[in-house]
Every structure is written in structure tokens, then in C-alpha cells.
Amino acid sequence: MGSTSNLPRHKDDFGRVYDLDDPSPYFNALRPSDYRMPAVLACALKAIHRPVCAVRRAGDTLRVLDFACGYGAVGALLRHEVSMPEIHAWYGGRHWRPIDARRHWEADAAFFAARRAEPVTFEIGGADVAGVALEYAAALGFLDRTFHENLVDEAPSEALKLFLHGVDLVVESGSLGDLLPIAFERILDCSGDGGGRPWFIYGPRPDVDWSSLNGLWKERGYRAEGLGTEPVRYRKPLGAQELADMLRVGRALGRSEEAVMRDGYLLVDMTLARPEADAGNPPIARLRRNYG
Ligand SMILES: C[S@@+](CC[C@H](N)C(=O)[O-])C[C@H]1O[C@@H](n2cnc3c(N)ncnc32)[C@H](O)[C@@H]1O
């Protein structure tokens, strides 16, 4: 089994596992927390695939930008019959050291190839500051296009602008917290107009202040609505310090402990933001029924 003794124990300490030659330290750090968001997001995308294709006149393929995609877990789950616990178990079965470099990539490719299944199709672009993670995700077929970019500090490249022009959905799982609105604003700045503007699906953590993102939606004529009828479990805190910090920040934002945490898990309301002009088409109630 992979050793967990040197792995991050707090959300603010994850930077060092985001861009290694091997994804196992990233997944092994999150494994004790039962991090579920890529699966929650993949499940939402599959559930709304058909109605969204129809509304967006996208044929049978939705173009998705997975923002801050890391090692491409969302694409892995969309294209394979595999669960998040199985992914955690697979990467947990090794003790990778930097000297091992990319020696597990071939075995990883075989693991996923044996589980390949894509009942509905997506064209998936991934954007991230972690170039090696993007290379890994592309090599394993989790992403069709990669954009090695920092959308907090800079506007999208010409290549990303072109991709965004036809993008149907922008999604994010587990990324930047209160810096997310900056990246989403840059994406909105160079996306199509009118009916071509993308929809967004994201999981706003309750220990983050989302007022500027909510302001952005209003300013750009978007409506943000809960996609599910119940909050979903995001992950468990990794330790006492992280738990205390999450509750403290949640409280400071006016959220009760029950709104932040249930059964030991941080809670999020999966959120769909789409242009007001699209907001009734299909009605949110129909998407919620599909999403379950
Ligand atoms: C918690 S990981 C989430 C990865 C993936 N979405 C998942 O759920 O497994 C956060 C990701 O955000 C990326 N990131 C951090 N700052 C970024 C930025 N300014 N622009 C794009 N990606 C960024 C990191 O490299 C990392 O891959």
C-alpha cells in the first residue's frame, strides 16, 4: 500500500501533489477523506447530457471544459466503468517515489482500457496550471485537448479561446475556491454570445465566500440554481485542524454547522449557472429529475 505519512493533511497543503509524474500522491492524499466530487460531477454530466444536447443543438456530443482538471478524474469517470473508490484503491496500491518517474503510466493505461465505456459522448478539454498532470490525463485518454494555462493570472490563449467558442459546459470539481470567479469571468469574456454562451456546473464549498461569483452571474445575465434537491457530500476533512478551519470560516460566513457539515462530510449544493435566456429550457425541475 502507498505510504500516507508525508501526504498533505490540509487543503492549503495540496500544491505539492498537483503536478508530479505520478497521480498517486494526489489521490492517496485525498483517499482518507473519501473525496467524491469528480464522480458527482460526472454523474451530473451524464444525467443532463441528452436534454442539454437538444437545447444546445450539439448533436450527440457535448463539448466540456474541465477547469482545473488536474489528472483528469472527471474525464476518467465519464469514459470508464469505474468508481471513485476503485480509482482511489488503484492508485493506493503503489508506493511511488520521484525516482520512479512515469513508470506506472502504462499499467494505468491498461487498467483504464479494460474498463473503457462511454455511454454518452463528450469532447473534453482540460485547463490547468499543472502541465504534467495534463500530459498524464491526455495520455490516458481522459482529455481530448489540454490547455496549460493559469486563468487567474492571465487571459486564455488563442487556442483556448477557439475551444471556448463552441463550448457547451464549463465544469469544475474541487478547484480554486474564492479565486474561481476570476477564472470564470475570463472564460465568459471570450465565450460566444447569445445562445452560444456556455453553461457552468460547479460545487460551491460552504467554507468559501461566493458573493463575488454570485455578483458575476447577475452582472452577466446568468441565473444560478441548485441542480440537486439536496446538498451532496463533498469530502470529509483530513484532520482536526482542517475541520476546525472549515467550520470557523463557515461560521464567519453566517453558515450553521449543519449547513457546512453532515455525517462528517463537507456539503455542497451542485450548482448550474446558465444565461437567463436559457434558464427555462429545459426547466430546472426537469434537469433535477434526471439528476436525481
Ligand atoms: C483539488 S485539485 C482538483 C483537480 C480535479 N478537478 C479533481 O477534482 O481531481 C485543484 C487543481 O487546481 C489547479 N489549479 C490551481 N490553480 C490554478 C489556476 N490558477 N489555473 C488553473 N488551474 C489551477 C491545480 O493544479 C489542481 O490540479
The share of the chain scoring above pLDDT 70, in percent, equals 97
d(C-alpha 292, C-alpha 290), whole Å: 5
Does a structural domain hold residue 189? Answer: yes
3-state secondary structure at position 5: coil
Cα–Cα distance measured from residue 209 to residue 173, given in angstroms and rounded to the nearest whole number:
17
Q: How far apart are CA 242 and CA 249, in angstroms?
A: 11
CATH assignment of the domain containing 169: 3.40.50.150
Residue 126 lies in a domain: yes
Assess whether the C-beta atom of 133 lies below 6 angstroms from ligand 1: yes
- Cell numbers for 254, please give them: 453566517
Given this model, what pLDDT does residue 194 score?
A: 56
Query: For cell 465505456, what's the residue?
Result: 117
State in Å: Cα 127 to ligand 1 middle: 8
Tell me the pLDDT band of 291, cut-offs 50, 70 and 90.
Answer: confident
CA 1 from chain center: how many Å?
27
User: How many Å lie between the centroid of ligand 1 and the Cα of residue 286?
Assistant: 31
Tell which one of 128, 142, 170, 234 to mutate to probe ligand 1, the residue whose CB is within 8 A of the most ligand atoms. Answer: 128
Cα(66) to centroid of ligand 1, in Å?
Answer: 10
Q: How confident is the model at residue 292 (pLDDT cuts 50, 70, 90)?
A: low
Query: Is 18 inside a domain boundary?
Result: no
Asked if residue 232 is part of any domain, the answer here is yes
Q: What separation in Å is there between the alpha carbon of 95 and the centre of ligand 1?
A: 23
Number of domains in the chain: 1
What is this structure's pTM?
0.95
Residue 3 lies in a domain: no
Check pocket membership of 38 for ligand 1, CB cut-off 6 A.
Answer: yes
Q: Is residue 128 part of a domain?
A: yes
- What is the predicted pLDDT for the residue at 178? 86
Residue 203: domain span: 36-75+118-291
For the segment 236-277, what is each residue's pLDDT rounded down to a tens digit?
Answer: 999 999 899 999 999 999 999 999 999 999 999 999 999 999
How confident is residue 186, by pLDDT bands cut at 50, 70 and 90?
A: very high
Considering the domain boundaries, does residue 211 fall inside one? yes
**In this structure, is residue 8 part of a structural domain?**
no
| CA-closest residue to ligand 1 atom 10 | 175
User: pLDDT of 228-240, one tens digit each?
Assistant: 889 999 999 999 9
